[in-house]
Amino acid sequence: MTAPVRVAAARCLQQLLNEEGSLPQLLTEYRQKVQGGERALLAELCYGTIRHYWQLQGMLTQMSSKPLRAKDRDIELLILIGLYQLRYMNIGAHAAVNETVAACDTLKKSWARKLVNALLRRYQRESDALFDALSAAQKASLPDWMFDAFKVAWPDHINRIAAASTARPPLCLRVNSQQSPRDSYTRQLTEAGIAFQNCRYATTGIRLDSGRAVERIPGFETGAVSVQDEAAQLAAGFLPLAAGQTVLDMCAAPGGKTCHLLEREPGLTVVAADLIAHRLTRVQENLTRLSQSARLLQCDGKQPPFAEASFDHILLDAPCSGSGVLRRYPDIRVDRHAEDIAELTALQSQLLAAAWPLLKPGGELLYVTCSILPAENEQQAAAFLAATADAVNIAITSDAGFATDHGQQLLPDADSHDGFFFARFQKAR
């Protein structure tokens, strides 16, 4: 039996806030609980409400004389879903309010109908005043700690970061250069009537003007293209690859960078390692679709099972806060906490220290995060260099982002790439 889509959205978000799974994982489950024609609406309600969670919550707090009880979190989320519809969706206000109010009955909380109706009607009357009264962090729909960290790190860019972090992410493709150059592939898009733009920085990158399912992208199933953000596409080009080299891709899942390494240089031997075994299944699926091969290995990156000087190059795409990809993974803004950063930076340091002995003299390690927090990026790179006598910083030449003392920082751009950091270290000969 299917559930009304707004009820399914409220329950899905309740599990998310209870830390019972990521949003993509939970949506996979809840899509099966609504009618097929409502699955896109379910995703829009869940992603949109979480993307603007702190802003919507701030307006609800202003309108509420006292918070709802913990056991009525589903009603609170239903109200936020209603506010999201009224503020951001092209749904008639009458329908948005009525359908949201009706959802109280399905939740077996008919007592809340009057409350939900009153709050949504009040928002319609006072929306401008409610928004104006929000804090800067709430207007940016960021938790206070994250907004403050961004503002301290990037005071001249805070408005750009906030806008990019709540924007809808573009669908970006990476053309498989082993099959065709970018210009040849884009002719297929033109013939199919698909509007696009070439990426500015990634020479294999294409940004579609609107999203679509991968099965409707020409050549996807046959490996002509892969889905990968423009910033992530830059990584493989920052290593001096050559046929016959052996490369370790640490923390490799889901395999986008592994596959791109092989596309750029088919003569490589690549080992793709990841801590979680089932995530390597996704790496293999991508390799198979692209007719590529690599050795897959489940291991703890802090204790990698390789001999010293085993690899010509290492790509370390380190676990991080994800603060540069909030638009793609909006649930980060509710499940990431300030105290997590110290744990992450400690893990990054351990991974760097464990990977370095595996590198041959003269080889290079590329350190990558999808973060914009200096503690995970510039400060991490500086600390590694200070602690590692035979590590030499190699400047990255790129028009994307801007150079720091020890790397290249890209801030998220609403019309272009995600936020990423790259640092390149060479082992002295």
Positions marked active-site:
370
For residue 169, the SS3 value is coil
Is-contact 225 173, C-beta < 8 A? yes
Distance CA 283, CA 260 (A): 12
User: CA 156, CA 161: separation in Å to the nearest integer?
Assistant: 10
Cross-strand partners of 365:
314, 425
Report CA-CA distances (Å) from 266 to 227, 262, 286.
Answer: 20, 5, 15
Residues whose CB is less than 8 angstroms from the CB of residue 10 and which lie 6 or more positions away in sequence, other chains included: 74, 75, 77, 78, 81, 103, 107
Q: How many helices (H) and strands (E) does the chain have?
A: 17, 13
Q: What does the alpha-carbon distance between residue 409 and residue 292 come to, in Å, rounded to a whole number?
A: 30
Tokens linked to 155: 């005071």
- Do 340 and 289 contact (CB within 8 A), yes or no? no
Measured in residues, the chain has a length of 429
Instruction: Output phi, psi for 321, to 5 deg.
Output: -70, -20
Q: What are the residues whose beta carbons fall under 8 Å from the beta carbon of 233, sequence distance 6 or more?
A: 172, 174, 199, 202, 204, 205, 260
3-state SS class at 168: coil
Q: Which residue type occupies 96?
A: A
